[in-house]
Structure 1
Amino acid sequence: MAFSSGPALAIFSFVLWGITPLFYRLLPDASPLELLSQRVLWSIPLLLLVRLCIKQRTSWQKVWQDKRSLLFCLLGTCIMAISWCTFTYAMTHDQVLAASLGYFINPLFSILLGMIFLHERLTLSQKLAVLFAFAGVSYQLWQYGQLPVLALIMGSAFALYGLIRKFIRFDILTALTVETLWLVPLAIGLMFWLPAHGESALTNADLTLRIYYALTAPVTLLPLLFFAAAIKRTTLTVVGLSQYIEPTIQFLLAIFLFNEAFDRVKGVSFTLIWIGLLFCMSGLLRHWWMQRRKTVLMARP
């Protein structure tokens, strides 16, 4: 499988996302708001540079004319900021297992949002997937007396962000650039507000820490660019199945490298969610097989 092929690019992008916690171990107890500010400010020049290298891109004139997509980009920006902050908080505060759970249940949130907002009908496998995921989360609530809030925020925010993207008519890179530009005023405001209130880690930071903060931009954008390239070169089924690579790697890192607590309750909860994902994956594979069979039959003379 060539590296430039769609499946290889999809796998590589999710592997990069999966090992992201290794980078954030260099920033223990970092402020999510300061990370958001630095990520936005360093992302803008990178995005504009990469965008210049892509021929098939939405012109700025069309961007300005499409007010509907601009507004959806603003909405996507708000969701993206929440997703980024909760993710970086989890990465820098020994909550990698929560992030893993969030991304495991993300596809199930996507199924529910599709049903509610896009009026999509759930298949039997999707209904069973949602049922088992609900059982897994409910079990944690019953045993701990509280919901896995971080996981639910990450899973639902990323699913909602995916739903919003369906209504944006810009290409992926232009949309991401516009969304990031919407965040620039907030990023600049945070850059002055945090030091003024004594909550900035960069005020008296050395060069190494400043470099780590700047690197949050490429660490965020690189897997996203590979993912965008993969979407154009492979099927959504392949992408849908590949996305489980990310939370699996994060789960393994949390348990075996970072030594996060994994008790019986979490074991039962994760198992129920994994069973739900198996139903979800079986539905994807069945749909892919039927579509392929239909294509083969239509190609026969």
Structure 2
Amino acid sequence: MMVRSGAALAIFSFILWGITPLFYRLLPGAEPIEMLAQRILWSLPLLLLVRPLIKQRTRWREIWQDKRSLLFCLLGTSIMAISWCTFTYAMTHDQVLAASLGYFINPLFSILLGMIFLHERLSLSQKLAVLFAFAGVSYQLWQYCQLPVLALIMGSAFALYGLIRKFIRFDIITALTVETLWLFPVAIGLTIWLSTSGESALTNADTTTRIYYALTAPVTLLPLLFFAAAIKRTTLTVIGLSQYIEPTIQFLLAIFLFNEAFDKVKGVSFTLIWIGLLFCMSGLLKGWILQRRHHTSVVQNGQPKEDII
């Protein structure tokens, strides 16, 4: 039952992430830096309210004693700031298709980073997945004579953040709170600078626009909270397969609702990357099936099912 509820939470979180372009369409041409600052300013009080509700949260004393995790939180939040800015720009400047591409290739970046930094050995399916993804990006470079920069930044930044999270020993909500605390002074400084220099879009904005900027915090955090709950209730295989829901929804929105250009070059590029993802998914499913068979054999040999769950 817990595994099923975890799968439902994972699917729901990725659906929420997938439909976020609908919200950002309310802020066309928004300034990514100012939106980042507002997201941080409004996220901190929300996180401080949510954190006490987490039973197995890291205590404040343990946080300050773990200097290594604190530094990795600083590194992680710096990378996420880049990811947020590029994502916001894509959402508010008719580049939802680029965001979709970025999150399709994100798992493949994660595979490469695991091989380089964690010395993980790639299976045949993973090697084929990376090869097809490389072919897809290379095809766009060859045809357009330019790289899909936004997609590559989003895909690689989120993969790097995932790698850094492996070295942070705090629970996910505490880690997010610490990361937000690191950027909070920067957000205040940016807000003051934009206001005094006359560059702020909020200075003369109406009340509705101000509310939309403030809502970027819960729009960002809500799916993340469901995702954090899902991680504790289901397997990484389910998480890995569910994550493709987000870019699929964004892809469909970009093509059929936002009418973004999708020519033959992008069609070939996406197809190659999707083939790579099929190899990646087949590897995940194979591992899951083998794991289930192992669990079944353990149960048949007399171990209680409770120990397995």
Same fold (TM over 0.5): yes
**Residues 14 and 242 of structure 1 are in contact (CA less than 8 Å); yes or no, is this contact kept in structure 2?**
yes
Deviation at residue 185 of structure 1 after TM alignment? 1.0
Match of 1:285? 285
In 1, Cα distance between equivalents of 2:113 and 2:4? 32
Deviation at 1:294, TM superposition (A): 1.0
Gaps of 5+ in 1: none
How many positions carry a matched residue from both structures?
A: 301
What is the deviation of 1:193? Answer: 1.0
Q: Distance in 2 between matches of 1:206 and 1:153?
A: 32
1:118 and 2:118 correspond? yes
* Cα distance per residue 1:146-185 (max 9 Å; x no partner): 0000000000000000000000000000000000110011
Aligned position for 2:272: 272
**C-alpha offsets along residues 203-248 of structure 1, whole Å, 9 cap, x if unaligned?**
0111111000000000000000000000000000000000000000
3-state SS of paired residue (2:30): coil
The CA distance in 2 between the partners of 1:111 and 1:57, in whole Å, is: 29
The 5-angstrom pairing of residues 194-273 of structure 1 reads 194-273=194-273
Residue 81 (structure 1) aligns with: 81
Runs of 4+ that moved beyond 4 A = 1-4
Q: Name the CA distance, whole Å, in 2 between partners of 1:64 and 1:214.
A: 29
Provide the secondary structure at the position in 2 that maps to 1:120: coil
> C-alpha separation between the residues in 2 aligned to 1:2 and 1:75?
34
Taking the aligned partners of 1:16 and 1:77, their CA distance within structure 2 comes to: 22
**Residue deviations 1:73-128, cap 9 Å, x none?**
00001011001000000000000000000000000000000000000000000000
Partner Cα separation in structure 2 for residue 54 and residue 243 of structure 1: 24
Instruction: Report how far residue 2 of structure 1 moved.
Output: 9.0
Per-residue deviation at 1:195? 2.1
Shift of 1:53: 1.4
Whole-angstrom distance in 2 between the partners of 1:60 and 1:241 = 34
Distance 1:15 1:240 in 2: 14
2:280 partner amino acid: C
Distance 1:194 1:267 in 2: 40
Aligned partners of 2:62 and 2:5: how far apart in 1? 31
Q: Percent of counterpart pairs with the same letter? A: 85
- The TM-score with structure 1 as length reference comes to 0.98
Distance 1:37 1:119 in 2: 36
Supply the distance in 2 between the matched residues of 1:299 and 1:287 (Cα, whole angstroms). 18
Could you say which residue in structure 2 is the equivalent of 1:169? Answer: 169
Assess, with a 3 A threshold, how the Cα gap between structure 1 residues 261 and 7 changes in structure 2: closer, same or farther. Answer: same
1:6-155 equivalent positions in 2, closer than 5 A: 6-155=6-155
Shift of residue 56, structure 1, vs aligned partner: 1.1
Q: Which residue identity is paired with 2:198?
A: G
Cα distance 1:69–1:237, how it changes in 2: closer, same or farther (>3 A)?
Answer: same
Coordinate RMSD, CA, aligned = 1.2
Letter of the 1:197 partner, please give it.
Answer: S
Matched residues in 2 for 1:143 and 1:195: separation?
A: 43
Q: Which amino acid aligns with 2:75?
A: L
1:5 aligned counterpart, secondary structure: helix
Q: What runs of 5+ residues in structure 2 fail to find an aligned partner?
A: 302-309
